[in-house]
Chain A
Amino acid sequence: MQPGKTGRRRFLKESAALAGLTVGTIGSASGQAPQKAESDGEDFRAYGSHSRFENPRRKPSGMDPEHPGGGTGSGASLTPLQDSIGIITPSSLHFVVSRFRNAPPDLDPQEHRLLIHGLVDRPLIFTLAELKRLPSVSRIHFLECAGNGSPVERRNAKTVQETHGWTSCSEWTGVPLSVLLTEAGLQKAASWIVAESADAGKHAKSIPLEKAMDDVLVAYAQNGEAVRPEQGYPLRLVVPGWEGVNNVKWLRRIKLVDQPYMTHSETTQYPSIRPILEGKALWFNFEMEPKSVITFPSGGHRLPGRGFYEITGLAWSGRSAIRSVEVSVDGGKTWKHAELQAPVLRMAHTRFRFAWNWDGEEAVLQSRCTDEKGVQPTLTALAKIWGVNPDYFNTTLNRINHFNPIQPWNVTRDGSVLNGLF
């Protein structure tokens, strides 16, 4: 099917409708056969697509240093932050960290159910239609994988997609989990929930009840349409500000329990082994700390010549709203405040902008953000928190979760932009 032809037919049909003609007459009037129904899927106006001159792409990713693109069963991919604009990530570019071979679970919304049981007075099972009748809210939140930027896998990263692409930001719509839990009637002994996915591996995660009752959403929509299959269609948890692993996709069950259930992810993958703890690991490190990164210019971009550039990037924190972002263009000698795009939302990506005149000399561009509790660390400051020399991050095979140091981009005289972290 030629897009131009389809578009013209569609235009004729719509013009006819506007003019009060019936669609049936237009086929004979234009001398063309009526359009086949199946071609609607290819009609760029039936479900719009970007211009053919634009080509934004997620990039496959994994957690194996030797196979950074992911293995044969990896459903993981990184958001192209170098192309990001504003604060909303297009749903089709939202990062994915999941294990599915070629496609996410294909769940029929008519058949899908959400079970709430355990330490409740009234176990309940909901259809999607019933959930959509309940009071809903829409909120803008980022999601970020705890391992976003973990140097073990990203040491050779060149672009901001590779260094920071396991975060995205969407408007999520759904039922506050507190509404569902209240409807089921919490028993006094309930102190945690276990949320379970309907994916093949039945991913499950324990979350403290206090958080569950505070701001967690059972979301069925993302950016004005149904949640995408890779993002958990037809139903997922959104756990604002917390490690991505808590945001259980393809949600099918919530059990109220009196202790965390010590599932695979919370006992084996996500505890953080820290040298300062002498080989012990930090347990249940939920909140993502403040992080920012310049997305333009960033690794892989090439500045055509000296002159004016607007430096722009993203800042976010799982603990609060971003209070300020500072930018340095001289390797950290001086810092100046960047302009924040309003409104600045709690636990959402915050866009910052900074005017810059490049003099054509070598430059190091960095951003650092401050939330309500503190400032984003330098690599050296982060090393101190971990009880290591900064070299540690460049040599260890330990997975570094919550890796949030200031990211330098080196601009060379020919305008190339290179990762300056390692």
Chain B
Amino acid sequence: MACSRLLLSVMILASGVAAFSQAPTYHLGRTPSEEEIRAWDTVIGPEGKELPAGSGTAKEGAKVYAQRCARCHGPTAAEGGSTIGIRPAPPLVGGQGTLKTLHPVRTVGSWWPFATTVWDYINRAMPLFEEGSLSPNEVYSLTAFLLYRNGIVQENDVVDAKGLPQIQMPNRNGFVPPRPMWTHSPSNRGRTP
């Protein structure tokens, strides 16, 4: 028993080092169906590979915004709102030129580096306490509306799965390092004894 435990520990340690081309050891869990994966695979990466079919314009989005978003984020989306949740509902429009000041205002226009994140966050996390209740077309049109109000697209531009990842956000280069990277601290290797 002690021997097999030890062997198991060695196997686990070894598997942590050799990261690639492993065979399964424990044969637990089952293979999910394609449909199951597709239903859960909703986080949108910067290339937009997971975006569903659909489209929308700022004009359409203005109506959805007024009905579903204005209560918290303000009538024009530049106001922000009173605190609901951990932090106040932020303004979504404006703030350009404030990032160097004592009062940086982080909005979709002044701050967000990827348009795909706007779609993703609205789709999965908004409206607060009614999450997941918007249709893909509503999310596309709301995204178009916020981009339009920030001067990034035109009012009648159609935003869809193909075009959204191509949209250049004004603050795309506002991050250091410019490309997301991470280097493991050498001193932090190994495990807690």
A387–chain B nearest beta-carbon distance, Å: 11
Q: How far is the CA of A400 from the CA of B160 in the complex (A)?
A: 36
Return the chain B residue nearest A207 by Cβ.
B182
Asked whether A277 lies within 8 Å of B191 as measured between CB atoms, the reply is no
A259 touches B180 (CB 8 A): yes
Interface assignment of B1: CB less than 8 Å from any CB of chain A = no
How would residues 49 to 67 of chain A score, 1 for a CB under 8 Å from any chain B CB and 0 otherwise?
Answer: 0000000000000111011
Q: B66 near A: Cβ within 8 Å?
A: no
Contact among A139, A209, A264, A275 for B191, CB-based, below 8 A: A139
Does B188 belong to the interface (CB within 8 Å)? Answer: yes
Contacts of A397 in B (CB 8 A): 102-104
The answer, yes or no, to whether B192 is at the interface (CB within 8 Å) is: yes
Q: Are A262 and B113 in contact (CB under 8 A)?
A: yes
Q: Please, how many angstroms separate the alpha-carbon atoms of A339 and B174 in the complex?
A: 44
Asked whether, in the complex, the Cβ of A284 is within 8 Å of the Cβ of B182, the reply is: yes
Are B19 and A267 in contact, CB atoms less than 8 angstroms apart?
Answer: no
Beta-carbon contact of A202 and B29 below 8 Å: no
Contact of B29 with A185 in the complex, beta carbons under 8 Å: no
Q: Which of B20, B102, B175 is the one whose CB lies under 8 Å from A271?
A: B175
Question: What's the Cα separation between A98 and B87 when bound, in Å?
Answer: 11
- How many angstroms from the CA of A140 to the CA of B24 in the assembled complex? 28
Q: How far is the CA of A214 from the CA of B112 in the complex (A)?
A: 31
- A130 at interface, CB cutoff 8 A: yes
Binds B, one of A71-79, A229-237, A414-422: A71-79
Instruction: Give the complex CA separation of A70 and B86 in angstroms.
Output: 5
Q: How far is the CA of A260 from the CA of B46 in the complex (A)?
A: 8
The 8 Å CB contact of A186, one of B22, B132, B177, is B22
The stretch from A119-127, A299-307, A327-335, A352-360 touching chain B is A119-127
Chain B residues near A262: list those with CB within 8 A.
Answer: 45-46, 113-114, 116-117, 180
Closest-by-CB residue of B relative to A117 is: B37
Compute how far the CA of A241 lies from the CA of B192 in the bound complex, rounded to whole angstroms.
11
Which one, A264, A283, A320, contacts B120 given CB within 8 A? A264
A280 and B83: CB pair below 8 A? no
Is the pair A202, B88 in contact by a Cβ cutoff of 8 Å? no
With the chains together, A213 CA to B120 CA distance in Å? 27
Look across to chain B and name the residue whose beta carbon is closest to the beta carbon of A195.
B43
Q: Give the interface size bracket for A toward B.
A: 35 or more
Which of A27-35, A157-165, A174-182, A403-411 faces chain B? A174-182
A179 touches B15 (CB 8 A): yes
- With an 8 A cutoff between CB atoms, is A347 at the interface? yes
- Given the complex, which residues of B lie within 8 Å of A264, measured CB to CB? 117, 120-121, 125
Band of interface residues on B: 35 or more
Q: Which residues of B contact A130 (CB under 8 A)?
A: 28-29
- Residue of A whose beta carbon sits closest to that of B105: A397
Residue-wise interface mask of A (160-204) relative to B, using a CB-CB cutoff of 8 A (1 in contact, 0 not): 000000000000000010110011011110000010100011111
With A73-B84, A346-B192 known as contacts, the answer to whether A373 contacts B185 (CB < 8 A) is: yes
A21 within 8 A of B: no
Q: Is B167's beta carbon under 8 Å from chain A?
A: no
User: Does chain B have a CB within 8 A of A20?
Assistant: no
Known contacts A133-B28, A214-B16; A71 and B88 CB within 8 A of each other: yes
The CA-CA distance from A115 to B29 in the complex, in Å, is: 9
Closest to B81 in A: A71
Interface status of A110 (Cβ within 8 A of chain B): no
Given the known interface contacts A183-B25, A267-B113, the answer about A398 and B192 at a Cβ–Cβ threshold of 8 Å is: no
A396 and B83 contact, CB distance less than 8 A: no
A210 adjacent to B184 (CB under 8 Å) = yes
On chain A, the residues within 8 Å of B45 by CB distance are 194, 257, 259, 261-262
Looking at B19, B42, B188, the one whose CB has the most chain A CB atoms below 10 A away is B188
Contact of B28 among A183, A253, A343 (CB under 8 A): A183
Chain A nearest CB, measured from B4 CB (Å)? 11
Q: Note all chain B residues with C-beta closer than 8 A to A85.
A: none
Tell whether, in the assembled complex, residue B131 and residue A201 are in contact, meaning their CB atoms are under 8 Å apart.
Answer: yes
Q: What's the nearest-Cβ distance from chain B to residue A43, in Å?
A: 36
Measured between beta carbons, the chain A residues less than 8 angstroms from B32 are: 115, 117, 123-125
Give chain A interface residues in 272-299, CB to chain B under 8 Å. 273, 275, 277-284, 286-287
Chain B residues in 8 Å Cβ range of A75: 86
Within residues 58 to 109 of chain A, which ones have a CB less than 8 A from any CB in chain B?
Answer: 62-64, 66-67, 70-76, 97-99, 101
Q: B83, A67: Cβ atoms under 8 Å?
A: yes
Does any Cβ of B come within 8 Å of A368's Cβ? no
**Interface contacts beyond A133-B28, A200-B131, A264-B120: sample of 15 additional A-B pairs, CB < 8 Å, sorted by A:** A64-B88, A67-B88, A101-B129, A178-B16, A183-B26, A200-B125, A201-B124, A255-B41, A262-B113, A263-B121, A264-B121, A279-B104, A280-B175, A283-B175, A345-B192
Identify the 6 closest CB pairs spanning chains A and B, nearest first: A71-B83, A279-B100, A201-B125, A124-B29, A63-B87, A279-B99
23 contacts between A and B (CB under 8 A): A74-B83, A98-B86, A125-B30, A130-B29, A140-B192, A178-B16, A179-B12, A179-B15, A201-B124, A202-B43, A203-B125, A214-B189, A255-B41, A259-B45, A262-B180, A273-B104, A277-B176, A279-B104, A282-B176, A319-B185, A345-B193, A397-B104, A398-B102
Chain B: residues with CB nearer than 8 A to chain A? 8-9, 12, 15-16, 19-26, 28-32, 36-37, 40-46, 82-88, 99-100, 102-104, 106, 111-114, 116-117, 120-121, 124-125, 128-129, 131-132, 174-177, 180-182, 184-185, 187-189, 191-193
